[in-house]
Chains A and B, each alone.
Chain A
């Protein structure tokens, strides 16, 4: 599903060179639920941004669902992002002046689905997260947990193969975080691969695998249990 080989990411300013990732290697198989942990500044977010095609990498190779992303132009990367990836952010990142229906509609518009197809997918996605009855509400009218559910619905509406979650429970209280985590587990159980960055060790132990990053490299691989599909995959660091 996702393979990075000897990947590096260097941020350069006039004075300083910062190696966010170096010799980074990871292989995530279809159906896995992988958590990524590590201290602040270890390179987790850089990894997630590169995985999500939001940032370019400096060297190495990255294959996403069989597509070598190196050298793709902005249009090709955007299309790949739209078709294959779903994003869930710590801060929810809903567009405040769009109602729930229109928020979930955003990625579907870029996909070019017709109105009927979009409506069907939006209703299905919002039903899946238990918010079908609040389609016309605006994000500000919802609790944090509900907003994150909308963000999950938005990520799911386009049927992505890989869901990238950046500390999705970081802004939620314990009860809401549990609810969101259970929802993610359901989604994974239904076949969607999930890559989740978290600081919460309790969440990390609930997933198939935990990858620990220190100084831009995978330093530790913790296998927690069988993946939902073939678990022959490995993470090489």
Chain B
């Protein structure tokens, strides 16, 4: 009977086309509004590395002074000091460790027709690539030896490699970067983490991916300025060496554990380490040492803004308003079908059959509303993506959201159809048949 009722549902769309169109449009507008805002929220709160997000940890150690300190308060920054980052790298914790900071610098393209320009990148240790599953198109990450001696080697992103060298493998080529001759050792395949959890300082977490990577040791050796915020609770002396030795926070560290269960071991190392640093007089506060996995880190840093959540709630409020309208329209549509219901009841349809028939009709309306809603949502996302690169990265609909659109649309139609369908079942056939 489902196919029969579905066919009747499609036929019913043509009956009273103005009312049907109004219903479909109402539903579609509500669906489009909720789906487009939900797409943004979905992309914002997306787990960028689900295969290992529960075993990638970022530590926070509070190096600030005791001044104005309230026990248990959050550290003022989401980065750590260079000293702590280096000690974590040496700790042997987990299976991989990295420390990184954002850099930006000018590049002199080997193709003379391209003028020098500035590009943004990252200065991590080599484990970063394996830790965040960065794919390579050519070459590979720099070697341990390169890392140890702070060699001037660079990994380029594919778009940057193509911009600088065209469609050839540039591994082994020289590149004048930030005034120093670097050797290209690798080119990453198209890779963009959304949100960019590994470094939430310096730009939007949804901004375009890195254009180049140089070893942390090389960046430090060349005293490359960091591209992002820095938090200091006391004055520091001049020069890059003073910054390295300071209690200012400007580096992010990551630890990859073999399993999520290793978290307590890492936490206890952190606690022991912080106690030791306190005894040495370096750390002043008796602040809790924080350790976050990727979802926890996104939550702590508030990657998904309150505004985005509010917008989604508002959009769903609008959908509810559209549903109320759809209920009214469906009531009108079904009320003129009372005589048909009477006839069907007389010919042997039970109330349950009438309920099924009319509910399937609302599902058909929901599906059509879903298709139109999807088109409107695509349009809305296109408009949103015009507002900036970061938004363009977010305003993309994936299969998950595509399916969700239809689930929302059909679910909304069913919800809206429940009362009118129930009312349709209550039609007294005898009265309708006589009143014909």
A74 to B342, CA, bound (A): 14
- Number of A-B residue pairs at CB separation under 8 A: 69
- Given A54-B433, A166-B434, A110 and B343 contact (CB-CB distance below 8 Å): no
Q: B349 to chain A: which residues have CB within 8 Å?
A: 78, 110
A52 to chain B, nearest CB (A): 7
Q: Given the complex of chains A and B, what is the CA–CA distance between A74 and B348 in angstroms?
A: 10
B26 within 8 A of A: no
CB nearest neighbor in B for A91:
B436
Task: State how many residues of chain B have any CB contact under 8 Å with chain A.
Answer: 25
CB under 8 Å from chain A, chain B span 344-359: 344-353
B120 is an interface residue with CB less than 8 A from chain A: no
CB distance from A206 to the nearest CB of B (A): 24
B15 within 8 A of A: yes
Q: Is B429 positioned at the interface, with any CB of A under 8 Å from its CB?
A: yes
Residues on A with beta carbons closer than 8 Å to the beta carbon of B436? 89-93
How far, in whole Å, are A17 and B347 apart by their CA atoms in the complex? Answer: 30
Q: State whether the Cβ of B221 lies closer than 8 Å to any Cβ in chain A.
A: no
On whether the beta carbons of B345 and A82 are closer than 8 Å, the reply is no
Instruction: Given A109-B4, A110-B353, check contact A93 B348 (CB 8 Å).
Output: no
Pair B433/A89 contact, Cβ less than 8 Å: yes
B345, A54: Cβ atoms closer than 8 Å: yes
- Answer whether residue B430 sits at the interface, using C-beta atoms and an 8 A cutoff: yes
A70: CB under 8 A from chain B? no
A87 at the interface (CB under 8 A from B): yes
In the docked arrangement, what's the CA distance between A45 and B433, Å?
Answer: 11
Contacts of A109 in B (CB 8 A): 1, 4
Q: Which residues of B are found within 8 Å of A92, using beta-carbon distances?
A: 436
Give A237 Cβ to nearest chain B Cβ, in Å: 23
Does A154 make an interface contact (CB < 8 A)? yes
Interface check B339, CB cutoff 8 A: yes
Chain A residue at smallest Cβ distance from B7: A102
Decide yes or no whether A81 CB sits under 8 A from chain B.
yes
Binding site for B on A (CB under 8 A): 45, 49, 52, 54-55, 74-75, 78-79, 81-83, 87, 89-95, 97, 106-107, 109-111, 154, 158, 166
Q: What are 17 A-B contacts with C-beta separation under 8 Å?
A: A55-B428, A55-B430, A79-B350, A81-B346, A82-B347, A87-B346, A87-B347, A89-B433, A91-B436, A93-B339, A93-B433, A94-B343, A106-B344, A107-B348, A110-B348, A154-B347, A166-B434
